[in-house]
Structure 1
Amino acid sequence: MKIFKNFADYSSLKPLAMSLGMFDGVHIGHKYIIDQLLIKGAKNNLETALLTFWPHPRFVFNPNENLKLLNTIDEKTELIDLYGIDNLFLKEFDENFRNLTGEEFIRKILVEKLNVKYLIIGYDHSFGKNKSGNFELLKKLSKELDFEVEQMEAINIHENNISSTKIRNSLLLGNIKDANEMLGYSYSVSGKVAHGKKLGRTIGYPTANIEAGHVKLLPKKGAYIVEVYVDNQFYKGMLSVGTNPTVNGEKLTVEVYILEFEGDLYDQNITVKFRDFLHDEIKFESLEKLIERLDEDKKLTEEFQF
């Protein structure tokens, strides 16, 4: 997959089958769009492309908003590459770009610069200054500018439309299985292992403290069953998102106890994939009560069908 951060760097003899949007989570609705692009591209000798934005436009319009995302830019890129797209445009949402009207964007960028011949957009997608671009405008201009446009209907699970917002809300409620079903894969968090208070090792449950990054959405505070990947090696794990209230902690941390693992992980990057919710964050009356619950959680993790 070729990656472009500037439209000026792109040139190709082949026209494009393209979709545009944030693609946060690259969920099964996005996967459907990608599949349609691949089918259309193969049938009509078009290269496939996605156009997305970094940073998220909401960071630009609402800099004080505490928006958390399902994917880091690296995670998003990796998922899109995995699904077989030829070209990925990672456009900075700068002042010049945000001032383009919907029609200017269609004429100058999609048609003149990128030679888009087929465009598919999500059921609720809008673009351009003051959201002046939408499916109706695309349809209106498509005959004049010689491209085909299609609007995807909403993808449903259990009679609910799938969206990145709904996935975020499911994670914030601890509904891991629902979120994973909408994503089409297990939600993950990656990061470098940092030094913590090292309390876990004193009670028989040494944990790796993961630095998840400030943009990444963390699920609801509580305990989870997770898959852990260290150097591409799989381990079972039990993970805590929280502040360690039993020992009067204040900082939000992501700590994972890795079953049947020995070794030093400090400064290494590891990935955890969330599989199930165990329980809410609990402030125990003593370390003994905490250890009892950890023992229960460990048993449930060992018995879980990964």
Structure 2
Amino acid sequence: MKTINNLHDYSSDTPLALSIGMFDGVHRGHQTIIGNLNEIAHDKGLESAILTFWPHPRTVFNPCDDLKLLNTIEEKTYLLNKNGVQHLFLKEFDEVFRNLSGEEFIRQVLVDKLNVKHLIIGHDHTFGKNRSGDFNLLQKMSSEYGFEVEQVQAVDYHTQPISSTQIRNALVEGNVKAANEMLGYVYSVSGEVIGGKKIGRTIGYPTANIAVNPMKLLPKKGAYVVEVFIDGLQYKGMLSIGTNPTVGGSSLSVEVYILNFNDDIYGKQISVNFRDFLHDEIKFESLEKLIERLDEDKRLTENFKF
């Protein structure tokens, strides 16, 4: 997959089959769009492409909105490539771009710059200043500018359309199983293993502290069954998101106890897949009560079937 970070530098006569959107999560609804996109591109001799934006438009329109995303740019790029997209356009959502009308966006970006011949959009997609662009406008202008357009219906989960927002809400509630079903893959976080307070090792549960990208959405505070990936190898783990209130902690941390593992991994990049929710964050009355709960969490993690 070719990644283009600056539309001003892009010039090609290659006609494209394109879809537009944030594609945060690259969830099952997005995967349906991409599948259709790739099929159309193959059948019509086009190349498939995605136009997405950074930062998220919500953070531009509402700077105080502390929006966390399902994917980092690197994760989104990996997932789009995995799903067979041939071109990825990463467009900065700047002041000039946000002020383009729907018609200007179609003319200047889709037609003049990207040479789009087939456009696929999601069921609720709008674009342009004041959301002036929609499926009806695209249909109206498609014959004039020589491209085809289609709108893909939503993919439902329990009668509700799958959306990035719905998945974020599930994760905030700790419902990682529902999030994984809507995503079509297992939600994960990655980061470098950094130093911590090393309290875990004093009670028989040494943990790896993970420095997670601050833009990445973390599930709700609590304990989880996870898969841990280190140097291409897979382990079972129990992960805690929280402030460690039992020992007087105050800052949020992401810590994972890796079963049957005792190597030094400081400075390494690791990733964890969220498989099940164990319990909310608890402030225990003593370290002994904390250890009892950790022992039970370990038993549940050992017995969990991946």
Q: TM-score range by the shorter chain?
A: over 0.9
Aligned to 1:137: 137
TM-score (norm 2): 0.99
TM alignment of 1:253-268, pairs within 5 A: 253-268=253-268
Aligned to 2:207: 207
Structure 2 CA distance for aligned equivalents of residues 124 and 248 of structure 1: 46
**Equivalences, count:** 306
Structure 1 CA distance for aligned equivalents of residues 64 and 157 of structure 2: 33
Aligned to 1:65: 65
Supply the AA of the counterpart residue of 1:185. Answer: Y
TM alignment of 1:1-306, pairs within 5 A: 1-306=1-306
Cα deviation, residue 261, structure 1: 1.0
Supply the AA of the counterpart residue of 2:296. Answer: E
SS in 1 for 2:88: strand
Structure 1 CA distance for aligned equivalents of residues 114 and 81 of structure 2: 20
SS in 1 for 2:63: coil
Contact conserved, 2:198 with 2:206, CA < 8 A, in 1? yes
Query: What is the root-mean-square deviation of aligned Cα atoms in Å?
Result: 0.8
Supply the AA of the counterpart residue of 2:172. Answer: L
SS in 1 for 2:185: coil
Structure 2 CA distance for aligned equivalents of residues 100 and 158 of structure 1: 37
> Which stretches of structure 1, 4 residues or longer, exceed 4 Å deviation after superposition?
none
Higher deviation after alignment, 1-10 or 66-75: 1-10
Supply the AA of the counterpart residue of 1:182. Answer: M
Supply the AA of the counterpart residue of 1:114. Answer: L
Q: Percent identity?
A: 67
For structure 1, which runs of at least 5 residues remain unmatched after alignment? Answer: none
Cα deviation, residue 248, structure 1: 1.5
Deviations 1:184-240 (A, max 9, x none): 001000011111110000000000011112111000110000000001110000000
Structure 2 CA distance for aligned equivalents of residues 157 and 97 of structure 1: 34
Structure 2 CA distance for aligned equivalents of residues 277 and 160 of structure 1: 23
Supply the AA of the counterpart residue of 2:153. Answer: E
Supply the AA of the counterpart residue of 1:272. Answer: V
Structure 1 CA distance for aligned equivalents of residues 182 and 223 of structure 2: 21
Contact conserved, 2:20 with 2:50, CA < 8 A, in 1? yes
Contact conserved, 2:227 with 2:273, CA < 8 A, in 1? yes
Cα deviation, residue 49, structure 1: 0.2
Cα deviation, residue 118, structure 1: 0.5
Structure 2 CA distance for aligned equivalents of residues 233 and 65 of structure 1: 38
Structure 2 CA distance for aligned equivalents of residues 298 and 288 of structure 1: 15
SS in 2 for 1:117: strand
Cα deviation, residue 171, structure 1: 0.3
SS in 1 for 2:24: coil
Cα deviation, residue 6, structure 1: 1.4
Supply the AA of the counterpart residue of 2:116. Answer: V
Cα deviation, residue 60, structure 1: 1.3
Structure 1 CA distance for aligned equivalents of residues 300 and 146 of structure 2: 59
Supply the AA of the counterpart residue of 1:3. Answer: T
SS in 1 for 2:13: coil
Cα deviation, residue 146, structure 1: 1.1
Cα deviation, residue 11, structure 1: 2.7
Cα deviation, residue 23, structure 1: 0.3
Supply the AA of the counterpart residue of 2:127. Answer: F
Structure 2 CA distance for aligned equivalents of residues 267 and 65 of structure 1: 32
